[in-house]
Structure 1
Amino acid sequence: MKARTFLFLLASIAVGDAVAQVNALPPTRHILVYGDAQARAIPDRFKITLNFESVNLDPDAARRSVEANVQKVLEQLRSAGVPDNEIVATSLSIDSKERYDEKTEEEVFVGTEVSRTLTARFSSQKELETFLAGIKTSRELTISDVSTQLSDEPALRAALREKTIASSREKADVIAKAYGARISGIYSVSDVAPQFDYGIRAGTWPQTFDWIDTFGERGRTLDRIQVAGAREAAPNAATSLQTGYVTFQDKIYTVFLLAD
C-alpha cells in the first residue's frame, strides 16, 4: 500500500511539472517575444594541449621519459613568452598497456604506460607560432588541440545580454502598438525556450539576427552592433595560422503583459 502511494505521488509530481511547463503563460492578454544578440570578435588568446606518453616494461624508465619531455616543453614554452601561471600540467597517470594479438586472439601485455597532459595559453598568435616552430612531435609527444579564446569574454557576454534585453523590449513594443495595445508589465523572463500549447519549441524558433559592424557608417541601431578587435598587420609571407572570428550568441524569452 505504501509503495503504491509513493508511486502515485511521484506520478503526480511528474504530471504537475509537465503541466507547469505547458501552462507557463498568464491567463490574461500577453505577448511572448525573444530577444537575441550575436557578435563576432577576434580572439586574442590561444590555448594548446600537449600529451606526453611513454610505454616501457620498466615503469620508472617510462616515468623518466615523460618527465624529461615535460621539462623540455616547459623550457620551450617559457622561451616563447608563456608565463608560469598560464601553464597547467596534470599529475602522472600510470596504467598497464596491452595490445590485441590477432593470431592468438588474446590481449598481450606490452608494458607500463605513463602519461601526462599539459595545457598552455599564449597571449598572441606570434608566441604560439614561435613555440610550434621549435617543438618536435613524436609517439611520446603529441598535440591534441589548439583553441582560441577571448580575454574579455565575460564583458562581451554581459554587453550581449543588455542588447538581448533591449531587443526583446523593442520587439514587444512594436508588435503591441501594431495591435493597438501597450506593454503593461513583465510576467516572466528566461533564457530557456518555453514549451506551451502554441506548438513552438526551442528548436523551431526563428534564426538569430546577425549583429554586424555598423559604427561610423549608419550609426548604432538596436539590432546591429559592432564588436571588433585589433588585428595585427599581416606579414608579407603567408602565416601557418590564420586568426578567424569567434561568434558569441545570446537569447532571452520574455512574456510581456498587455493593456489597452
Structure 2
Amino acid sequence: MKLRYLLVLALTLSSDLAAQVNAIPPMRHILVYGEAQARAIPDRFKISVNFEAIDMNADAARRRVEENVQQVLGRLKAAGVADGEIVATSMEMGARERYDDRKGEQVFVGTGVKRTVVARFDSQASLKTFLADLRTSKELNVSSVDTELADEAELRKALREKAIESSREKAETIAKAYGARLGGLYSVSDVAPQFQYGVREGSWPSTYEWGRFQDTDGYTLDKVQVTGSRMKRANLESFQTGYVTFTDKIYTVFLLAD
C-alpha cells in the first residue's frame, strides 16, 4: 500500500512538472507580459480601535471595556460614520498571566476582556474630527488606519483590460521588428511561468504606467510614462492623502505564424 502511494505521488509530481514545461510551446513563439499601473487618491479610511481591560473582578473589566466601546461608538456617529460602516467584534474574556522573575513562574493577574471596533470614514476630514477628540490609553488604543478606494474593483477591471492590451501591443511590436507575424494565442496567465531559458520574473526591463482619469463613460487609462524598473503598490498604512499605485500584470505566449 505504501509503495502504491509513493507511485501515485511520483506520477502526480511528474504531471505537475510536465504541465510547467508545457507552459512553453516547442514551436516558434513569443512570450511577453503586459503590465498596467494606475495612481489614485484614496477616498476612504478604515480605522481599528482596540479595547482591553484586566481586573481581578471580571465584571469590572467587562464594564470598563463596554464603557469605552460605547464612548467610541458615540464619537464615530458624531463624526458622521454610518451604522453600516461600523463593525464591533464580540467580547473575548480569559485569564491573564505575567512571568514573575523572582518566583520563576507565571502569576495570575486577573481576567482580561477584549473587543475591537472597525469603522470606515468617507473623508479624511471626518477621520480627523474623530481622532481629535479620541483619548487613548492602555485600555483604548488605535491599532491601524488604512486607506481604501471606494471604486477599487472598477479600477482593477480597467487595469486588467489595459494589461491585456499592453501584452498584445508588445508582442506585435517585437514580432514586427524581427520580420515575423503573430499566430494564435497559446497561453495566458496572471501567474509568472517558470521559463526554461533562464528568465525570471523581476528581470523584465520596463513598466508601463497609466494615470487614472474618469469621464462620463467610466474609467479610461491613458499612458503617461515608461519607467526603468518595476514599481510596487504603495504602502497603505498611512491615512495621509496621496497617490496609491495599483498594478496588474498578465503573461501571454503567442505562437509565431509561418
Q: Is the 8 A contact 2:34 2:166 kept in 1?
A: yes
Flag structure 2 segments of 5+ consecutive residues without an equivalent: 215-219, 226-238
What residue in structure 1 maps to residue 243 of structure 2? 245
Q: Offset at 1:212?
A: 4.4
Provide closer, same or farther for how the CA distance between residues 143 and 213 of structure 1 changes in structure 2, counting only shifts above 3 A: closer
Question: What's the CA shift for 1:117?
Answer: 0.6
Q: Which amino acid aligns with 1:71?
A: Q
Where does residue 115 of structure 2 map in the other structure?
A: 116
Asked whether the equivalents of residues 167 and 222 of structure 1 are also in contact (C-alpha less than 8 Å), the reply is no
**What's the CA shift for 1:129?**
0.3
- Measured against aligned partners, the alpha-carbon deviations of 1:183-221 in whole angstroms (never above 9, x if no partner) come to 121011100000131112334344533334799xxxx99
The residue that corresponds to 2:234 in the other structure is none
The aligned runs of 1:3-152 (5 Å cut-off) are 3-152=2-151
Residue aligning to 1:235: none
How many Å apart are 1:222 and its aligned residue? 6.3
* Cα contact 1:36–1:251 (8 A) shared by 2: yes
Residue 19 of structure 1 and its aligned partner are, at CA, apart by 2.4
Query: Structure 2: how far apart are the matches of 1:126 and 1:191?
Result: 38
Amino acid at match of 1:17: D
Give the Cα–Cα distance (whole angstroms) in 2 for the partners of residues 40 and 103 of structure 1: 56
Distance in 2 separating the partners of 1:176 and 1:120:
52
Percent of matched pairs sharing the same residue: 62
Give the TM-score normalised by structure 2. Answer: 0.88
Q: Which shows bigger deviation, 100-109 or 121-130?
A: 100-109
Structure-1 separation of matches of 2:200 and 2:131: 46
Please name the residue that 1:230 is paired with.
none
Indicate how the Cα distance of structure 1 residues 167 and 222 shifts in structure 2: closer, same or farther if over 3 A, else same.
farther
Distance 1:105 1:75 in 2: 44
Greater strand fraction, Structure 1 or Structure 2:
2
Give the aligned CA root-mean-square deviation in angstroms: 2.1
Q: TM-score, normalised by structure 1?
A: 0.87
Measure the CA separation in 1 of the matches of 2:205 and 2:108.
Answer: 56
Aligned-partner SS, 2:184:
strand
In structure 2, what is the Cα distance between the partners aligned to 1:11 and 1:254? 30
Letter matched to residue 247 of structure 2: Q
2:195 is aligned with 1:196? yes
Cα distance between partner residues in 2 of 1:122 and 1:141: 19
Check whether the contact 1:39–1:248 (CA below 8 A) recurs between aligned residues: yes
